[in-house]
Amino acid sequence: MYIPEHFAETRPEELARIIREHPLGMLVTQGSAGLDADHIPFEFDPGVQTPGVLSAHVARANTLWQRCPTGTPVMVVFRGAEAYISPSWYPSKHEAHRQVPTWNYEVVHAQGTITIHDDERFVRRLVARLTRRHEAAEPQPWKMGDSAPEYINTMLRSIVGIEIALTSLVGKVKLSQNKDARDRLNAADALEARGHGDMAQAMRKAG
């Protein structure tokens, strides 16, 4: 990934935020048939001495867990807020006419090695954790105990767990940091008016 210095994001807390707020990662793998990508919601546990661990599960029918045995190097891409930026939103454009369209975005590339967990205890704990997190905002959060044990057991047998021990987290946040403050802030206001509040907020914080 090409990262000009002013777009580089190295703060661990910001990398974790992007992953936490946008957990649907694109798991990129390479095998005998070439490149492939699976779109999977992940749980992220930041590390102290290492970048951390990603955990997820895939359908047993998905050959990923057979094509990529334990120890296979992989990459997961997490995309955060993103939006088109019109040059017309920059006040300086109307003065010098020296601006062009662009696209702003937040992204994290997580690289590491995969471990396959064909283990009912692992996937049960993981599904419970994913459920607690993503059901938390519901008035009556769903939990596995709401369904018959036989049904849940059947569903758990139909998935396989994966864990990725990360070796690197590389972040890029392109938020018009290379523009004058008035251009960046005016573009943020234009995005806010068009319903891109997350990107507008991120651009206002960029300096």
CATH number at 44 reads: 2.30.110.10
pLDDT at site 161 = 98
Residue 40 lies in a domain: yes
Q: What is the mean pLDDT of residues 39-61?
A: 96
Residue 124 lies in a domain: yes
pLDDT at site 100 = 92
**Partners of 55 in beta bridges:** 43, 163
The pLDDT confidence band at residue 33, using thresholds 50, 70 and 90, is confident
| Chain position carrying tokens 């692992």 | 122
Predicted confidence (pLDDT) at residue 156 exceeds the cutoff of 70: yes
The pLDDT confidence band at residue 32, using thresholds 50, 70 and 90, is confident
Domain assignment of residue 121, given as a range: 5-87+100-178
pLDDT at site 60 = 97
The encoded tokens of residue 108 equal 């994290």
Q: What is the mean pLDDT of residues 162-167?
A: 98
Predicted confidence (pLDDT) at residue 93 exceeds the cutoff of 70: no
Q: Which position has the higher pLDDT, 152 or 95?
A: 152
Q: 97 in helix, strand or coil?
A: coil
Over residues 55-76, the pLDDT tens digits come to 999 999 999 999 999 999 999 9
Residue 126 lies in a domain: yes
Buried b (16+ CB within 10 A) or exposed e, 187-204: bbebbbeeebebbbebbb
Over residues 114-148, the pLDDT tens digits come to 999 999 999 999 999 999 999 999 999 999 989 99
Over residues 18-29, the pLDDT tens digits come to 999 999 999 999
Residue 156 lies in a domain: yes
Predicted confidence (pLDDT) at residue 99 exceeds the cutoff of 90: no
**Mean predicted lDDT score pLDDT of the chain:** 95
Most confident of 32-36, 96-100, 173-177: 173-177
Cα distances from 139 to residues 135, 146, 148, in angstroms, run 9, 15, 21
Residue 207 lies in a domain: no
Residue 202 lies in a domain: no
Element (H, E) at 165: strand 159-174
DSSP count for the chain of H helices, then E strands? 7, 8
Q: What is the mean pLDDT of residues 22-44?
A: 95
Residue 188 lies in a domain: no
What is the count of structural domains for the chain? 1
Residue 19 lies in a domain: yes
Percent of the chain with pLDDT over 90: 91
